[in-house]
Amino acid sequence: MSTSVLYNDQGGAEAAVEAGLESTPTSSSTGAAFRLVHADFKKNEDLKEMLESNKESLKLDAMKRIVELIAKGKNASELFPAVVKNVASKNIELKKLVYVYLVRYAEEQQDLALLSISTFQRALKDPNQLIRASALRVLSSIRVPIIVPIMMLAIKEASADLSPYVRKTAAHAIQKLYSLDQDQKEQLIEVIEKLLKDKSTLVAGSVVMAFEEVCPDRIDLIHKNYRKLCNLLVDVEEWGQVVIISMLTRYARTQFTSPWKEDAMFDETNEKAFYDSDSEEKKDQVKAGPYVMDPDHRLLLRNTKPLLQSRNTAVVMSVAQLYWHLAPKHEVNIVTKSLVRLLRSNREVQYIVLQNIATMSIQRKGMFEPFMKSFYVRSTDSTHIKTLKLEILTNLANEANISIILREFQTYVKSQDKAFAAATIQAIGRCATNISEVTDTCLNGLVLLLSNRDETVVAESVVVIKKLLQTQPSQRSEIIKHMAKLFDSITVPMARASILWLMGEYCERVPKIAPDVLRKMAKTFTAEEEIVKLQTVNLAAKLYLTNSKQTKLLTQYILNLGKYDQNYDIRDRTRFIRQLIVPSEQGGALSKYARRILLAPKPAPVLESAFKDRDHYQLGSLSHSLNIKAIGYQELSDWPAVAPDQSVRNVEVIEPVKEWVPLVGKVKKSKSDSKFYSDDEDDKEEEGSDSSGSEDSSSSSSSSGESGSESEEESSEESEKTSSDSGRSSSASEESTSESKSEQTTKKKTKKVPQEKKSKPPAADSSSDENGNAPVAQASSSSSESSSGSESDSEGDSDSDPPRVQKKVEVKSKKEVSLLDLCDFTPAPTNAPKPVVLSSSLLSDLQGLSLSNVSSAIQVTTSSFSPVKTHELLHHMTGKGLSAKYHFPRQPCLYQPSMVAVQIILTNSSDHSLEEIHVGGRSPASLNIHCFNTIERLEPEASVTVSMGIDFSDSTQAANFQLCTKEDQFNVSIQPAVGELVMPSTMTEQDFCKEQGKLLGMNETSATITMATANCSSQAISKQVLSVANVGVVSSTQNNLHRFAGRTVSSGALVLVSLQLKESSTALLTINTEKSVMGSMLLRDLKQALAQA
Amino acid sequence: MIHSLFLVNASGDIFLEKHWKSVVSRSVCDYFFEAQERATEPENVPPVISTPHHYLISVLRHRIYFVAVIQSEVPPLFVIEFLHRVVDTFQDYFGVCTEAAIKDNVVVVYELLEEMLDNGFPLATESNILKELIKPPTILRTMVNTITGSTNVGEQLPTGQLSVVPWRRTGVKYTNNEAYFDVVEEIDAIIDKSGSTITAEIQGVIDACVKLTGMPDLTLSFMNPRLLDDVSFHPCVRFKRWEAERILSFIPPDGNFRLLSYHVSSQNLVAIPVYVKHNITFREGSSQGRFDLTLGPKQTMGKAVESVLVSSQLPRGVLNASLNPSQGTYTFDPVTKLLTWDVGKINPQKLPSLKGTMSLQAGASKPDENPTINIQFKIQQMAISGLKVNRLDMYGEKYKPFKGIKYMTKAGKFQVRT
């Protein structure tokens, strides 16, 4: 009633009239708003009435409406007294709804809430477990501090309840009580300790959750329950599994020693075996390996593995992170498939899984490389999924697959989603810095993008090119010039600023252009963005220092403009620069160093993954996803150097003898035993580590996944057996351990043969999976094999299995043979000096080959035409009598297939003999040259021809090296014509057309050219083309169409040239190649050659 | 763990809230709305958002955002998976999961959420258990309830909750005992413009509808289990049997469930059942573009390709398209630039084609990218990987059930780049 009074006060007289009219159907529109408010009150009023009525159905209706109010977020707290009366209702649905209400509002109405407590206390004693549980749930959810003691008591009682469901509820209640009153911690830990001992799968998840919430640091509580938890894990409900796995991950990191050191060992031995064939020695080393995995550690890994097959994505992810953080490196690979499977799931799941894969793929490329295609972007993916996939593809890029990835990127660059296109450009930039082989290709591709129509694409390209040029400080003036040309058309500030910076930084390389750009900037200075202005000032300063004659006035003008700029940053910068470069009386001290300050060589930026720094968070965690330390995040500790005492996990008490176990005859027991083992056989065999003893065997029966009745029977029999064991001696646990162990080993012996059979096919499979590189091949060999390896480690003393080890060695050596073969076939193994980098699987490698090499029908041939155009390498004047000339013999290089053969004719035109002529230092240092042997002595007027091999990596960048004699050193450089970087290949016309069809778009350059009349015959054309480029003629059925095919020397990319003659001596010249820059250069050269008479 | 849940509709209204711990003000969703505004598409809202005191994890299904409020570290997938499970449950209960359905059944929704989480930790998520606790609303039951005053809420603890087979309720009785299995495979593929396959893989599921009395124990075996490369199971499947014998042995849940999802090993070549001939060109300078698309079947093992639907997001510069389909109907939405062509069945004798012109914005430069074509189709009575179920046996019960297996192949994410 008070509410309506209040309302009357507020609403005034008119509203009161309206209220009075409420019941009549006609009401004026002016009071409509008031009426609504009123109706609201009115509704609550009648809800109250309904709740106070005698009819259950009315009450229920009222409660349903109240719940609707709560759901909408409306306040229904004033109904509390009326609602709380119904807490003792017999109607179970009504009661539940009242509970919902109570939990929602008890905090606000603490005094009234107390009225309901006695009802719950009574319900806690109810014979129906559902009612007991729900009473405890509600009681613990009422957040009223006064009832803490009552809650404590209830939890203690419930934790001893016969029903596991009630005990589960108790575990949940622990967390609620703890969040309400932290002082109860000690008592609650006692309850947790008790519940941790619980053997019900129902309780396990919830109590571990409580443990994590209340006392995550009390690792000691876990020791005794560790094995039990591991064994129960499979049968725990899925949500509990996630929590337990995450807790056990933390636990294991504190209790076991790192299995990763052993890996290094593993790889080392393996590598050794790769090089020398003495397998004897290797076997010894394996046996002498210092690391033996703790059986409990193994137990955890083994028992979580089946969960990778869970339908719950959270479970799969948590197992994956467990393996990532705990498993020996070579076993981590088993999670890959499952993670890739999760990518089929919902968008949100994909997002999280991709984030984790991104982090993993930085450290372990090999894990996801075979699944590279699963990360290809689809146009329907949402933007953040796309960028994550891009991130992963970039991480996975290596020498072997880069061409495939770059081709894929080309598609993405054209995407309509411009943000994504920009991200792709960044990714290309990263690939370019990471893989030096493709730096030129990428750079040139990016330069082409500068003429793109989209502004964001252009801007991003400029920024990335800037970074790339910085990391590749060499003669890039071409590109800088090109960018200067584009400068006027680019409007994105960041891009303009980048170009200006480049101009300034490399102003000495473009001495003519830079001042001109500055001149343009001076005109538009006032209209530019801040960032552009700053760079303009920088450019001016740098030019002033290097070329003050031309730019002095301009610089002063710009500095004056900057002095009066609105932005104080620019004013400051201008003032600073002026003092620095224009020496004045008082500020002369610094200006001496102006050059060194402004033109200091700057370290190149490192382009790296955004996921680089995420790996210190536990995978799959919220912190990892956000890259922020989330509240309540528990750090994973580092492995202990020495494992803490492992006996703490031993459990003395074996399963108590259950009274209701019927006496079973000896015969039946052994039978069921064998059944039990045969059920578990494979698992046991595969995973080894059976020393965990009787506890292990008894509890693994419950995890055997059989139907309930069966497993009960089994465990009862098991306990029967153990109890009979314990009959013999009081402390039988030790003995029964050894007994079961021996029993299992005998089992193993009998089973050995089939096991070996089984282990063979995966080994064969994996050998076909893995190529190139020994360590990875070994690491990813099927887990069953490797774990059996560690098994033989742990059982070193038993007579177990020399034959098996032998077997392993055999398989391995077989693999090695095939590896070597493969290496022989690989066309360009020298591209990568380190074999480790080539760690791609055979599969993808072959794909790479098949994609770039197309088909075996296309063969590289030697050219029929060898030009005799020689170039001067060293003039005899500069060479103090030594002169050198070089030409390209157009023969495949003998030394390495990726090198271009060069012949050098050395002549001594001095009057004394020259001694020890050899090749000295080279630049860039990475330049791959096969030098000629030192010429001991060259007599006057004598000449000698030597051949070299140079790997130009398909770029026309000059190879600089030193030609040394005994006394002197001469810097020389060989600049290859683009046509020399190709070698001819023969193919049929059909093949040519097919290949040409694959190389369209960015890969195609064409121009219409006018040919000299002398060149119109087909012979002349061939001659001219062949003189420019080392390509092969493709026989053609059409008279007016000439085709030539070649392949770049270094990367083997196809270069297809076609010339279509038209009327009046014009022709369409088309070049198709992946190496688009080579294409355009070749086009230029050919055009020139054909135009000449 | 999960603190609160907010349901947000497409227009950005919170239409339901539920708190499992103390109440979190709905103003926390403002951070979510901010992120929503920033994202151009509904799908681009990041699933995990950090706010000063809380973390918001959301999923988007049926145009409803389910926003969970988290206060401390928890695996994000845990929450995401749970939210999806909530949606699945709603769908199971109400047939659809729309704003209207949820609003109509607010009380049941609330009761469900109350059972599914306790203090933010999942309690009962198995559909079989929930259905015993809270009966799904049916028209008949609602009527009976209003008359008799009985309730939707079960009085006994579901037996499944305690047994070793938590997914199955006890005392199931049917007059017709039947078990149906649907093997459904989806082809994910990217085809490049020259028609060669960039990537293609097959993902499959076996959905089951089992209505059997008592506690049957089923085994399902395949003719060619080696095809299955990577599998994930319903919890009922005994993993050890699978590992050892490649046999699916399980006590099934009652009703509909997904028994298995699998991935066919990538070694096997994937047969692509349709091919697309396309010629989509924009000419520089003219405001016209040509659109020419022809579909045809290939490698379908004689089965008809049905329910074919082609959709393509045309470039922004396209104003309209006037096309002429040889069969089926097409629509072009000038706002979203989405072209859809409902083809229907492909007749191998007369290949369906869609030809015509697109009109471009005058003066706009030609789009640099040709649109991607997404294709959906269905092929009945065939599993494209060749997977075959060998036999289904039942143990533990005496009666003879009726068994049925159906195969189907569908397009998953099937894209053709042009």
Q: What is the pLDDT of residue B142?
A: 62
ipTM at complex level: 0.92
In a domain, B370, yes or no: yes
Residues pairing with B220 in the sheet: B248, B392
Judge whether residue A206 has pLDDT over 70.
yes
Question: Which of B132, B148, B164 corresponds to the end of one domain?
Answer: B148
Instruction: Give A1026-1061 pLDDT, tens digit per residue.
Output: 888 888 888 777 777 888 888 888 778 888 888 888
**Other CB atoms within 10 Å distance of the CB of residue B200:** 17
Report how far residue A803's alpha carbon sits from residue B39's, in angstroms, rounded to the nearest whole number: 63
Report how far residue B394's alpha carbon sits from residue A962's, in angstroms, rounded to the nearest whole number: 83
Q: How close A95 comes to chain B (CA, Å)? A: 10
Judge if B264 and B398 occupy the same domain.
Answer: yes
Residue A538 or A459, more confident: A538
Q: What is the pLDDT of residue A794?
A: 40
Under DSSP, the state recorded for A24 is S
Report how far residue A807's alpha carbon sits from residue A796's, in angstroms, rounded to the nearest whole number: 17
- Kindly report the backbone phi and psi dihedral angles of residue A852, in degrees, each rounded to the nearest multiple of 5, phi listed first: -90, -30
Residue A377 or A968, more confident: A377
Instruction: Residue B119: list chain A partners with CB under 8 A.
Output: 140-141, 172-173, 175-176
For residue A427, the one-letter residue type is: A
Residue A538 and residue A560 in contact, taking contact as beta carbons nearer than 8 Å: no
Instruction: Give A219-252 pLDDT, tens digit per residue.
Output: 888 888 888 889 888 888 889 999 999 999 999 8
Q: Least CB-CB distance to A621: which of B16, B73, B153?
A: B73
Q: How close B30 comes to chain A (CA, Å)? A: 15
The DSSP secondary structure of B21-74, one letter per residue, reads SS---GGGHHHHHHHHHH-SSGGGS-SEEE-SS-EEEEEEETTEEEEEEE-S--
Judge if B144 and B188 occupy the same domain.
Answer: no
Instruction: Residue B234: list chain A partners with CB under 8 A.
Output: 311
If you search the block for the tokens 């969970």, which residue do you land on?
B68
* Mean predicted confidence (pLDDT) in A296-309: 89
* Mean predicted confidence (pLDDT) in A543-567: 85
Q: By three-state DSSP, how is residue A879 classified? A: coil
Handedness of CA B333, B336, B342, B348 (dihedral sign): positive
Judge if B265 and B278 occupy the same domain.
Answer: no
CA-CA-CA-CA torsion for B137, B138, B144, B146, nearest 10 degrees? Answer: 50
In a domain, B164, yes or no: no
Judge if B94 and B12 occupy the same domain.
Answer: yes
* Mean predicted confidence (pLDDT) in A10-28: 40
Question: From the centroid of its chain, how far is CA A1027?
Answer: 48
Under DSSP, the state recorded for B388 is -
Q: What is the pLDDT of residue B80?
A: 94
Judge if B288 and B321 occupy the same domain.
Answer: yes
Residue A768: C-alpha distances to residues A334, A839, A848 (Å): 17, 14, 16
Mean model confidence pLDDT for chain A: 72
Confidence label for B365 from pLDDT (cuts 50, 70 and 90): low
Say yes or no for a CB contact (<8 Å) between B194 and A237.
Answer: no
Nearest to A247 by CA among A217, A202, A267: A217
Q: Least CB-CB distance to A67: which of B72, B107, B229?
A: B107
In a domain, B189, yes or no: yes
Q: What is the pLDDT of residue B183?
A: 93
Any B CB within 8 A of A179 CB: yes
* Mean predicted confidence (pLDDT) in A816-826: 36
Say yes or no for a CB contact (<8 Å) between A630 and B23.
Answer: no
Judge if B225 and B339 occupy the same domain.
Answer: no
Judge if B278 and B264 occupy the same domain.
Answer: no
Q: How close A943 comes to chain B (CA, Å)? A: 55
Nearest Cα residue in chain B from A353 = B77
In a domain, B167, yes or no: no
Instruction: Residue B187: list chain A partners with CB under 8 A.
Output: none
Q: What is the pLDDT of residue B78?
A: 93
Say yes or no for a CB contact (<8 Å) between A68 and B107.
Answer: yes
Residue B137 and residue B152 in contact, taking contact as beta carbons nearer than 8 Å: yes
Instruction: Residue A628: list chain B partners with CB under 8 A.
Output: 50
Say yes or no for a CB contact (<8 Å) between B80 and A352.
Answer: yes
Say yes or no for a CB contact (<8 Å) between A311 and B15.
Answer: no
Nearest Cα residue in chain A from B244 = A682
Least confident segment among A171-185, B122-136, B400-414: B122-136
Q: Least CB-CB distance to B77: which of A60, A104, A620?
A: A620
Judge if B185 and B331 occupy the same domain.
Answer: no
Confidence label for B163 from pLDDT (cuts 50, 70 and 90): low
Q: What is the pLDDT of residue A728?
A: 44
ω into A924 cis (within 30 of 0): yes
Tokens of A845: 């490698």
In a domain, B284, yes or no: yes
Residue A886 and residue A974 in contact, taking contact as beta carbons nearer than 8 Å: yes
Instruction: Give A615-673 pLDDT, tens digit per residue.
Output: 788 888 888 888 888 888 888 888 888 778 777 777 755 444 443 434 333 333 333 33
Under DSSP, the state recorded for B378 is E
Q: How close B244 comes to chain A (CA, Å)? A: 7
Q: Which helix (H) or strand (E) holds A217?
A: none
Handedness of CA A536, A537, A538, A539 (dihedral sign): positive
Nearest Cα residue in chain B from A97 = B111
What's the pTM value of the predicted model, to 2 decimals?
Answer: 0.67
CA atoms within 13 A on the CB side of A91: 20
Judge if B143 and B11 occupy the same domain.
Answer: yes
Say yes or no for a CB contact (<8 Å) between A707 and B165.
Answer: yes
Judge if B89 and B113 occupy the same domain.
Answer: yes
- Kindly report the backbone phi and psi dihedral angles of residue A977, in degrees, each rounded to the nearest multiple of 5, phi listed first: -75, 150
Count how many domains chain B has. 3
Report how far residue A937's alpha carbon sits from residue A917's, in angstroms, rounded to the nearest whole number: 7
Q: Which helix (H) or strand (E) holds B404?
A: strand B402-416
Question: Which of B110, B126, B148 corresponds to the end of one domain?
Answer: B148
**Other CB atoms within 10 Å distance of the CB of residue A215:** 17
Under DSSP, the state recorded for B153 is B
In a domain, B162, yes or no: no
| Domain interval for residue B308 | 274-380
Nearest to A463 by CA among A498, A434, A430, A414: A498
- Label residue A556 exposed, middle or buried (CB < 10 Å: 0-12, 13-18, 19+): middle
Q: What is the pLDDT of residue A1004?
A: 82
Q: What is the pLDDT of residue A217?
A: 86
Q: Which of residues 659-718 of A touch B (CB under 8 A)?
A: 679-683, 704-708, 711
Say yes or no for a CB contact (<8 Å) between A306 and B199.
Answer: no
Q: What is the pLDDT of residue B219?
A: 92
Any B CB within 8 A of A621 CB: yes
Instruction: Residue B239: list chain A partners with CB under 8 A.
Output: 234, 306, 309, 705
Q: Please, what is the angle between helix A733-769 and helix A802-825, to 10°?
A: 20
Q: What is the pLDDT of residue B79?
A: 93
Say yes or no for a CB contact (<8 Å) between B21 and A179.
Answer: yes
Exposure pattern of A33-54 as b/e (b: 16+ CB <10 Å)? ebbeebeeeeebbebbebbeee
Q: By three-state DSSP, how is residue A235 classified? A: helix
Query: For position B375, which CATH number holds?
Result: 2.60.40.1170
Highest-pLDDT range among A469-483, A1069-1083, B199-213: B199-213
Confidence label for B68 from pLDDT (cuts 50, 70 and 90): very high
Mean model confidence pLDDT for chain B: 85
Report how far residue A304's alpha carbon sits from residue A306's, in angstroms, rounded to the nearest whole number: 6
In a domain, B344, yes or no: yes
In a domain, B307, yes or no: yes
Residue A554 or A808, more confident: A554
Largest CA distance in chain B: 77
Residues pairing with B118 in the sheet: B121
Any B CB within 8 A of A625 CB: yes
Task: Give percent of chain B above pLDDT 90.
Answer: 23
Judge if B182 and B257 occupy the same domain.
Answer: yes
Instruction: Give A381-439 pLDDT, tens digit per residue.
Output: 888 899 999 999 998 988 888 888 888 888 888 887 888 888 898 888 888 888 877 88
Say yes or no for a CB contact (<8 Å) between A141 and B119.
Answer: yes
Exposure pattern of B111-147 as b/e (b: 16+ CB <10 Å)? bbbbbbbbbbbbbbbbbbbbbbbbbbbeeeeeeebee
Instruction: Give B84-121 pLDDT, tens digit per residue.
Output: 999 999 988 888 888 888 988 888 898 899 888 888 88
Judge if B201 and B242 occupy the same domain.
Answer: yes
Instruction: Give the residue ranges of DSSP H helices in A795-934.
Output: 802-825, 842-853
Judge whether residue A569 has pLDDT over 50.
yes
Q: Please, what is the angle between helix A666-687 and helix A708-728, to 10°?
A: 100
Any B CB within 8 A of A133 CB: yes
Nearest to A780 by CA among A417, A353, A432, A328: A328
Task: Give percent of chain A above pLDDT 70.
Answer: 71
Query: For position B44, which CATH number holds?
Result: 3.30.450.60
Report how far residue B234's alpha carbon sits from residue B211's, in angstroms, rounded to the nearest whole number: 17
Judge whether residue A203 has pLDDT over 50.
yes
Q: What is the pLDDT of residue A765?
A: 41
Instruction: Residue B43: list chain A partners with CB under 8 A.
Output: 347, 382
Residues in chain A: 1093
Confidence label for A4 from pLDDT (cuts 50, 70 and 90): very low
CA atoms within 13 A on the CB side of B193: 17
Say yes or no for a CB contact (<8 Å) between A352 and B77.
Answer: yes
